[in-house]
Protein backbone atom coordinates (compact mmCIF):
# COMPACT_ATOMS: atom_id res chain seq x y z
CA UNK A 1 0.00 0.00 0.00
CA UNK A 2 1.18 3.53 -0.68
CA UNK A 3 1.71 5.90 2.25
CA UNK A 4 2.42 9.63 2.23
CA UNK A 5 4.84 10.71 4.94
CA UNK A 6 4.47 14.45 5.41
CA UNK A 7 7.09 16.01 7.67
CA UNK A 8 7.18 19.51 9.11
CA UNK A 9 10.49 21.10 10.05
CA UNK A 10 10.89 22.73 13.42
CA UNK A 11 11.82 26.41 13.52
CA UNK A 12 15.47 27.28 12.87
CA UNK A 13 16.37 23.72 11.83
CA UNK A 14 18.23 24.41 8.57
CA UNK A 15 21.66 23.43 9.92
CA UNK A 16 20.25 20.28 11.50
CA UNK A 17 18.55 19.44 8.21
CA UNK A 18 21.80 19.88 6.31
CA UNK A 19 23.60 17.59 8.75
CA UNK A 20 20.95 14.88 8.48
CA UNK A 21 20.67 15.07 4.70
CA UNK A 22 23.31 12.45 3.73
CA UNK A 23 21.79 9.78 5.98
CA UNK A 24 18.28 10.74 4.87
CA UNK A 25 19.20 10.47 1.18
CA UNK A 26 20.82 7.08 1.81
CA UNK A 27 17.54 5.83 3.31
CA UNK A 28 15.61 7.27 0.36
CA UNK A 29 18.00 5.49 -2.02
CA UNK A 30 17.17 2.17 -0.36
CA UNK A 31 13.49 2.77 -1.17
CA UNK A 32 14.48 3.59 -4.78
CA UNK A 33 16.64 0.45 -5.05
CA UNK A 34 13.75 -1.66 -3.74
CA UNK A 35 11.34 -0.08 -6.25
CA UNK A 36 9.16 1.28 -3.42
CA UNK A 37 9.63 5.06 -3.79
CA UNK A 38 6.96 6.91 -5.76
CA UNK A 39 8.14 10.46 -5.07
CA UNK A 40 9.99 12.45 -2.47
CA UNK A 41 11.17 15.98 -2.00
CA UNK A 42 11.52 19.01 0.25
CA UNK A 43 9.09 21.87 0.78
CA UNK A 44 11.18 25.03 0.24
CA UNK A 45 10.13 27.99 2.39
CA UNK A 46 10.20 30.18 -0.74
CA UNK A 47 9.49 29.41 -4.40
CA UNK A 48 13.04 28.49 -5.37
CA UNK A 49 14.98 25.24 -5.95
CA UNK A 50 17.64 26.55 -3.56
CA UNK A 51 15.90 28.61 -0.88
CA UNK A 52 19.20 29.49 0.81
CA UNK A 53 18.82 30.79 4.33
CA UNK A 54 15.01 30.78 3.98
CA UNK A 55 15.31 27.01 4.34
CA UNK A 56 12.50 24.51 4.18
CA UNK A 57 9.20 23.96 5.91
CA UNK A 58 9.19 20.17 5.63
CA UNK A 59 9.18 17.33 3.13
CA UNK A 60 7.10 14.61 1.51
CA UNK A 61 7.84 10.94 0.90
CA UNK A 62 5.35 8.71 -0.92
CA UNK A 63 6.41 5.09 -0.84
CA UNK A 64 5.10 1.56 -0.65
CA UNK A 65 5.04 -0.09 2.76
CA UNK A 66 3.38 -3.32 3.87
CA UNK A 67 1.23 -1.50 6.42
CA UNK A 68 0.88 1.65 8.49
CA UNK A 69 3.13 0.25 11.21
CA UNK A 70 6.01 -0.23 8.75
CA UNK A 71 5.50 3.27 7.29
CA UNK A 72 5.46 4.79 10.79
CA UNK A 73 8.60 2.88 11.80
CA UNK A 74 10.40 4.09 8.66
CA UNK A 75 9.36 7.69 9.33
CA UNK A 76 10.32 7.49 13.00
CA UNK A 77 13.82 6.21 12.11
CA UNK A 78 14.51 8.93 9.55
CA UNK A 79 17.14 11.41 10.73
pLDDT digits (tens, 9 = 90+) for 6-15: 999 999 999 9
The structural domain count of the chain equals 1
Segment 44-79, tens digit of pLDDT: 999 998 999 999 999 999 999 999 999 999 999 999
CA torsion sign, 3 to 73 to 66 to 31? positive
Domain residues for the domain of 50 are: 9-77
With bands split at pLDDT 50, 70 and 90, how would you rate the model's confidence at 21?
A: very high
**Strand ranges inside 1-79, DSSP E:** 2-8, 37-44, 56-64
Asked whether residue 1 is domain-assigned, the answer is no
Asked whether residue 3 is domain-assigned, the answer is no
Residue 51 belongs to domain with CATH number: 3.30.70.1060
Whole-angstrom Cα distance, residue 13 to residue 35?
Answer: 30
- Residues 25-52, mean pLDDT to the nearest whole number: 96
What's residue 30's pLDDT?
98
Asked whether residue 4 is domain-assigned, the answer is no
Whole-angstrom Cα distance, residue 6 to residue 39?
Answer: 12
Q: Do 56 and 45 contact (CB within 8 A), yes or no?
A: yes
Three-state SS at 19: helix
* pTM: predicted TM-score of the whole model, two decimal places: 0.91
Amino acid sequence: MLYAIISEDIENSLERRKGARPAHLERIQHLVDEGRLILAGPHPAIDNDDPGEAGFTGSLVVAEFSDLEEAQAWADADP
